Amino acid sequence: MATVAQTTMEKRFSRLARILMTFQESDTVSTTLLSERLGMTPRTIQRDFRALRQAGFPVKERKKGYYTLDKDLVRNLEEYTDVELALIVALKELVSQLGSPFEKAANDILGRIYDYSTCRPVFVKLDGSVRLNSRLLDRIIKAIKATRQVTFQYTVHSPYTVTADPYRVAYFDGIWYLVASDLKDSKVKKYALDKIDDLRQLRTSFKRIPPDLDAILEKSMSIWFEGGQEMEVTVEVDADWAHYFQRRSIIPTQEVLDTRKDGSLVLRFVACSMEEVKVCLKPWIPHVRILEPGELRKEFLEEFKGWIGWQESV
């Protein structure tokens, strides 16, 4: 049977965890809001914030009574339950009194949620990325993990309602997508996250994620993949640009069939749709030409004839 002291401590650590979770809802949190939500006095909430800072969480008081959590240093809070976060806070507070090596061991565990920018020796810049709505992403991830269906408003030319089984969140060419099976026709489709509004998780569960989905995404050159449909494409790359394709796999499934004496290359790759081939090859024109299939070559020619005519009309 728990003592009064144990019960009080459990409530305190649970409260600290709930304060951390509140930062998932808002960037700035006030002591007034938390005191009303948690049924505690503002002074108690202020003591809680001091305890979080002492435990190593990057909480700052921006102005009197208003606090922020540096999310550049803390990540993946959504991965933890209130109880798990309470345990992490309790562990950090306890070992800070015990000293090394206990504190070092605890810091290694906390490294799972702390991500210090000073430990990032490599910088990667993704140009032209569409701004990601992290709260929407969190809701989608939770639905995927819970295998729950979702419904949302999707806008292309005008908004319409989609109900779907959410499978994956995918990133292609600077844009984040939800890969999901539309319940209307049971087809796997791609929805740009920046065009999704009012996403809600339903109580209805879906059975499972297609076992071959990750393999399809891994091989895809763009978001224009179609599961279960494959086409083999053979192209020639001129000598001046061949080194790009030799240095790395520009196309995920590319295979070098021939390296010619003049330095040009013949490549073969597998694509999931005609649109995927177009998206992949257009940036390399006029340095590549399609050898097979002839149908694809003709389609490219017709499309570019139309573009040339449009260009000449200026």
> Between the CA of residue 154 and those of 158, 173, 177, 273, 295, what are the distances in Å?
8, 20, 12, 23, 34
Residues with Cβ < 8 Å from 185, sequence gap 6 or more? none
Tens-binned pLDDT, residue by residue, of the chain (314 aa): 556 665 666 777 778 778 877 877 778 888 888 888 888 888 888 888 887 777 667 788 888 889 887 655 455 555 556 565 566 666 555 555 545 555 555 555 555 555 444 444 444 444 555 566 678 888 888 898 889 999 999 998 888 999 999 988 887 766 788 888 889 988 888 888 889 999 999 999 998 888 877 776 766 554 555 555 667 889 999 999 999 888 877 776 788 999 999 999 999 987 767 777 887 788 888 899 999 988 888 988 888 899 888 988 88
Question: How many Cβ atoms from other residues are within 10 Å of residue 152's Cβ?
Answer: 22
Consecutive H or E run containing 261: none
pTM over cut 0.85: no
Give the chain's radius of gyration (CA, Å): 27
Return the pLDDT at 222: 47
pLDDT of 211: 81
Tokens of 209: 């994620």
| Nearest-angstrom CA–CA distance, 6 and 11 | 9
